Amino acid sequence: MEALQILLQDDHLVAINKPAGLLVHRSRVDVHAQEFALQMLRDQIGKLVFPVHRIDRPTSGVLLFALNKECARELSSQFADRTVSKSYLAIVRGKTPESKRWDEPLIEKQDQATDRKARKDKPAQDAVTEFVSLDSWTVPFSAGKYPESRYSLIEAKPLTGRKHQLRRHFNHMAHPIVGDTTYGDRRHNRLFREQFGVSRLLLVAKRLCFLHPINGQAVEVEASIGPEFEYALAQLAQHSIQKNEQA
């Protein structure tokens, strides 16, 4: 794998643009994986790094690390206290409302390989997602009983940090994220593979805003969406037969 793209680095923290498909660190999720963001970044900059949050393996985008344990504790506290602002871009099935707030508690999603010791009877935890629609398209390809298919580009802000929150919430809203093989719609995933040659999860951790752990100043880190996501947008625009741009 190529060197990781560093978005921000100083004496106390470093942020990268994590590629889709890369695990944050070693995990039982895939015991055969050989590359991990934590180890790759450590070797790349020649320093110990401490992860302060996670993004799903198939999701690309901003991933933040601290360069010492004190800063890691401070940044982790900001995530726990929900003072960090997170913004994602996603392509979802269907024509979404212009904006929406989705407040739906989620039962903790446990992984058989990694959460074997976790409690099985935990109550549902509060989970809130807000989003706005940025664009939408209708394309002349069928994914089922209709001759056309509709998709939307949305900017989503998870106000809580539950496991797979965005992927689960958008599935429950009947707007699953394209390319999601766990919670998505396999018919639309197949359409993107066959018509556009795109198979990745179309979800990007686009922006992260937090307070610097040392000087307290506001920090904003933003990642590019990457070539596959850009290509998917270009294909939707090229084949669109009804594009609805919103001011």
pLDDT of residue 25: 75
pLDDT at res. 246: 43
Whether 117 is covered by a domain: the verdict is no
56 as an active site residue: the answer is yes
pTM of the full structure: 0.91
Picking from 14-28, 50-64, 121-135, which range would have the lowest pLDDT averaged per residue?
14-28
* Tens digits of residue pLDDT in 193-209: 999 999 999 999 999 99
Q: How far is CA 199 from CA 22, 77, 165, in A?
A: 15, 35, 21
Give the chain's domain count: 1
Task: Please determine, for residue 245, whether its predicted confidence score (pLDDT) is greater than 50.
Answer: no
- HSE at residue 56, side-chain half, CA atoms within 13 A, is 21
Given a cut of 50, is residue 129 above it in pLDDT? yes
Higher pLDDT, 189 or 110: 189
Catalytic residue among 56, 103, 115, 180: 56
Question: Domain span at residue 217?
Answer: 5-111+124-239
- The average confidence (pLDDT) of the chain is 91
Domain with residue 145: its CATH number is 3.30.2350.10
Residue 116 included in any domain: no
Among residues of the chain, what percentage have pLDDT more than 70?
89
Residue 163 has pLDDT above 60, yes or no: yes
- What is the phi-psi region of residue 174: left when phi exceeds 0, alpha when psi lies from -120 to 50, beta otherwise? left
Residue 86 has pLDDT above 90, yes or no: yes
In a domain, 138, yes or no: yes
Q: Which residue from 86, 47, 85, 46 is spatially nearest to 66, judged by alpha carbons?
A: 47
pLDDT at 247: 34
